[in-house]
A and B are shown apart, each in its own frame.
Chain A
Amino acid sequence: MNNQENKQTGITGWIDKRLPVFTFINHNLRDYPTPKNLNYFWNFGSLAGITLVIMIVTGILLAMQYTANTDIAFDSVERIMRDVNNGWLLRYIHMNGASMFFIIVYIHIFRGLYYGSYKYPREILWMLGVVILLLMMATAFMGYVLPWGQMSFWGATVITNLFSAFPVIGDYIVTFLWGGFSVDNPTLSRFFVLHYLLPFAIVGVVALHLVALHQFGSNNPTGLDVKSSGDTIPFHPYYTVKDYFGLGVFLIIYAALVFFAPNFLGHPDNYIPANPLQTPAHIVPEWYFLPFYAILRAVPDKLTGVLLMFAAVLVLFLLPWLDKHKVRSATFRPFYKQFYWLFFINAIVLGWVGAMPAEGVYVLIARIASVYYFSFFLIIMPLLSRFEKVGELPSSISAAVLSKKFDKDTNESYAK
């Protein structure tokens, strides 16, 4: 259907002529041509968007009841849990939603990493995604401070103190962040303001992310470009229904967590009110920061540790230029595929040592894993882009889909 020719009549037609919202929806959510071979890993983009909306809605409702003051922040959260109608439900949805959001986004990123979604012409799309990740991390960190429990307070203290590692200006930065000489009321109140503000910044970047996505359309498991209309299907109904099904599965997992294990991913110490005079035995960040926390602690020098921790995320910005191999999808790259899975396991190992005390063998494991983390991006990727040989690729998405089907039917490769 040609979108320029607006066939709508009546009131929708009248509106659409003056403000083309219906054309826009039609163009981007209905007819939008999408590769026909997307697998379930392509569900995670829309899932992330839905989770963002859930977080914003529950967050706004919670903010109506929460008080950002060190004297009553903890009690105001308990009031939400006990006396506000369905307050416990809102809070548990919001609290676990943060974890679900990170699970989804990490899978989304690993998807992009496997299928080469960051390569030409989607470099800016990818970089906008990294910006979203950074904003999410800042938002999540500040949100965890708001209940003003022991982990809130000590997590905030440890993380803000990292900035003191910078020579000369370090202490000024820390004082500036705190709004005083320790983590106290000004810190809590600014964290609350920023925690409320940043999600809307995320919405803005997500909008740009989608504009950039729709410029060239989705990548796909073969990594091949769309060559003809035979390679694509309209977004609606095919991917809308597939996304709905994925959403159902996601909500089952999410609801199981919210209703039956709401504190499973949290830390018991955060139900103890913040006490600046008593340090918890182990200060651990939320699980989604653990790999980066492990990199931080793997380095004996504080400043280097801090820089490497930030570099671990920032290196993602350079990905399109570190991996210049012509083939996008790891499916056709025998060596990249193996290093990729090693990287994946390595990331889990980093998360695991991040939760362990920084002593003995754990430090050694963290160091080896950190070295591999950076080597994967800075050494392996550039080398593979020069030397990795690949076999013949399918001629098009359709051909790849057909040969797969043929494989299934006759157990014999069509490509052979």
Chain B
Amino acid sequence: MKVMQSKLHIIVLLLTILFPLSVFSAGDKVDLMEQKWPFNGIFGRFDNTALQRGFKVYREVCAACHGIRHVSYRDLKDIGFSSDEIKSIAGEYEIKDGPNDEGEMFQREALPSDKFVGPYENDNVARVANNGAYPPDLSLIVKARAGGADYLYSLLNGYKEYPEDYEASEGMYYNTFYPGNQIAMPSPIEDDIVEYDDGTEATHTQIAKDVTAFLAWTAEPELEERKSLGVKTLFFLALITIMLLGVKRKVWKDLD
């Protein structure tokens, strides 16, 4: 009886902790297009070839309007670029620096230690260029949206014609997964909008998948280190806790 009661306590406790949380996820009614991402799960890792393809998509498509201002060029080393490649990638961007000894501001090539240069000088320029809508910075986008990578992937695949009788606003596009369904960004990708260096067929879904993976990395560059340290930590904690349970039982035995 007593044992049962204490088990009940534990179940009730777990419910307390878990129950209020489940309501957050239960909020959205649209089912996202869930993918088996290689970076999910406790042993999750990024697939560098996919990230490099995704980076190409970002550079050739997304970067026209969106920045990734929290990421440095040198960070690309993590997804398999060599120092020379990074130098030449950074060299393609111009950055305003200064003032120099003459008190002048000047333009220079970006260095690997610089953060990614965004497409617009400031937010207002970005708005003017985009019909009043501000294209958000993408470095954290996967963490900043409910549903994460699945949401982004769904969004990129979710463009549809306006349903009949829908009161469409000027310059807006219909997307199944966007909250409110009207999004200012036109469908950014289509088949073969980029040409992959590794010969992968550049279908719409493939491009969406690769760029989503890349942005999952920009949002959580620490993910691989975090998960591998996590597995070791949990293993160590489990071991020491079992040992402590043994010690506890032994110490308490002489009270019986």
Residue from the set A107, A252, A408 with the largest chain B CB neighbour count within 10 Å: A252
Inter-subunit contact A272/B23 (CB<8 Å): no
A170 interfacial by beta-carbon distance below 8 Å:
no
8 Å CB interface, B9-37 against A:
12-13, 15-17, 19-21, 23-24
Q: Is the interface of B mostly helix, strand, loop or mixed?
A: helix
Inter-subunit contact B20/A352 (CB<8 Å): yes
- In this complex, what residue of A is CB-closest to B141? A271
Count of interface residues, chain B, beta-carbon cutoff 8 Å: 46
Binding-face segment, B58-66, B165-173, B197-205, B242-250 = B242-250
Inter-subunit contact A351/B20 (CB<8 Å): yes
Chain A residues contacting B238 (CB-CB under 8 Å) are: 252
A88 interfacial by beta-carbon distance below 8 Å:
yes
Inter-subunit contact B229/A89 (CB<8 Å): yes
Q: With A82-B221, A238-B252, A259-B230 as given contacts, are A244 and B244 in contact (CB-CB < 8 Å)?
A: yes
- B-contact bits for A246-258, CB 8 A (1 contact / 0 none): 0011011001101
- In this complex, what residue of B is CB-closest to A345? B12
Q: With A255-B234, A268-B146, A281-B179 as given contacts, are A355 and B20 in contact (CB-CB < 8 Å)?
A: yes
Inter-subunit contact A348/B255 (CB<8 Å): no
8 Å CB interface, A352-379 against B:
352, 355-356
Inter-subunit contact B251/A256 (CB<8 Å): no
Q: Is the interface of A mostly helix, strand, loop or mixed?
A: helix
B233 interfacial by beta-carbon distance below 8 Å:
yes
A231 interfacial by beta-carbon distance below 8 Å:
no
Inter-subunit contact B226/A75 (CB<8 Å): no
> For the complex, what is the distance from the CA of A272 to the CA of B24, rounded to whole Å?
18
Chain A residues contacting B144 (CB-CB under 8 Å) are: 268-269, 271-272
- In this complex, what residue of B is CB-closest to A348? B16
Chain A residues contacting B229 (CB-CB under 8 Å) are: 89, 259
Chain A residues contacting B245 (CB-CB under 8 Å) are: 245, 248
8 Å CB interface, A268-288 against B:
268-269, 271-272, 281, 287
8 Å CB interface, B220-246 against A:
221-222, 226-227, 229-231, 233-234, 237-238, 240-241, 244-245
Chain B residues contacting A272 (CB-CB under 8 Å) are: 136, 140, 144
Inter-subunit contact A75/B230 (CB<8 Å): no
Inter-subunit contact B234/A252 (CB<8 Å): yes
> For the complex, what is the distance from the CA of A253 to the CA of B148, rounded to whole Å?
23
A171 interfacial by beta-carbon distance below 8 Å:
no
8 Å CB interface, B126-159 against A:
136, 139-140, 143-146, 148
Chain A residues contacting B148 (CB-CB under 8 Å) are: 268
Inter-subunit contact B233/A255 (CB<8 Å): yes
Chain A residues contacting B179 (CB-CB under 8 Å) are: 281
A344 interfacial by beta-carbon distance below 8 Å:
yes
B125 interfacial by beta-carbon distance below 8 Å:
no
Chain B residues contacting A258 (CB-CB under 8 Å) are: 230
> For the complex, what is the distance from the CA of A372 to the CA of B207, rounded to whole Å?
55
> For the complex, what is the distance from the CA of A278 to the CA of B123, rounded to whole Å?
14
- B-contact bits for A57-87, CB 8 A (1 contact / 0 none): 0000000000000000001001001100000
> For the complex, what is the distance from the CA of A249 to the CA of B15, rounded to whole Å?
18
Inter-subunit contact A36/B255 (CB<8 Å): yes
A302 interfacial by beta-carbon distance below 8 Å:
no
A255 contacts which of B2, B6, B71, B237 (Cβ < 8 Å)?
Answer: B237
Chain B residues contacting A290 (CB-CB under 8 Å) are: 20
8 Å CB interface, A21-80 against B:
36, 39, 75, 78
> For the complex, what is the distance from the CA of A237 to the CA of B20, rounded to whole Å?
38
- In this complex, what residue of B is CB-closest to A255? B233
> For the complex, what is the distance from the CA of A409 to the CA of B224, rounded to whole Å?
52
> For the complex, what is the distance from the CA of A408 to the CA of B136, rounded to whole Å?
64
B105 interfacial by beta-carbon distance below 8 Å:
no
> For the complex, what is the distance from the CA of A281 to the CA of B71, rounded to whole Å?
28
8 Å CB interface, A86-127 against B:
88-89, 92, 103, 107
B193 interfacial by beta-carbon distance below 8 Å:
no
B245 to A: closest C-beta gap in Å: 5
Inter-subunit contact A39/B6 (CB<8 Å): yes
> For the complex, what is the distance from the CA of A281 to the CA of B145, rounded to whole Å?
13
Inter-subunit contact A259/B143 (CB<8 Å): no
Inter-subunit contact B17/A103 (CB<8 Å): yes
A241 interfacial by beta-carbon distance below 8 Å:
yes
B243 to A: closest C-beta gap in Å: 9
Chain B residues contacting A256 (CB-CB under 8 Å) are: 230, 234
Inter-subunit contact B23/A248 (CB<8 Å): no
Chain A residues contacting B251 (CB-CB under 8 Å) are: 237-238, 241
Chain B residues contacting A248 (CB-CB under 8 Å) are: 237, 240-241, 244-245
> For the complex, what is the distance from the CA of A20 to the CA of B193, rounded to whole Å?
77
A362 to B: closest C-beta gap in Å: 11
> For the complex, what is the distance from the CA of A303 to the CA of B140, rounded to whole Å?
38
Inter-subunit contact A352/B19 (CB<8 Å): yes
Q: With A269-B144, A281-B179 as given contacts, are A78 and B233 in contact (CB-CB < 8 Å)?
A: no
A264 interfacial by beta-carbon distance below 8 Å:
yes
> For the complex, what is the distance from the CA of A256 to the CA of B238, rounded to whole Å?
11
B70 interfacial by beta-carbon distance below 8 Å:
yes
A209 interfacial by beta-carbon distance below 8 Å:
no
> For the complex, what is the distance from the CA of A265 to the CA of B25, rounded to whole Å?
11
Inter-subunit contact B227/A252 (CB<8 Å): no
B174 to A: closest C-beta gap in Å: 19
Inter-subunit contact B237/A238 (CB<8 Å): no
Inter-subunit contact A249/B241 (CB<8 Å): yes
A to B CB contacts below 8 Å, 16 in the list: A238-B252, A241-B252, A245-B248, A248-B240, A248-B241, A251-B241, A252-B234, A259-B231, A263-B143, A268-B143, A271-B144, A271-B219, A272-B136, A281-B179, A352-B19, A356-B23
List 8 extra interface pairs beyond A78-B70, A241-B244, A260-B230, CB under 8 A.
A82-B221, A103-B17, A258-B230, A260-B42, A268-B144, A271-B144, A351-B20, A407-B2
8 A-B pairs with the lowest CB-CB distances in the bound complex, closest first: A259-B230, A248-B241, A271-B144, A88-B222, A245-B244, A271-B143, A351-B20, A271-B140
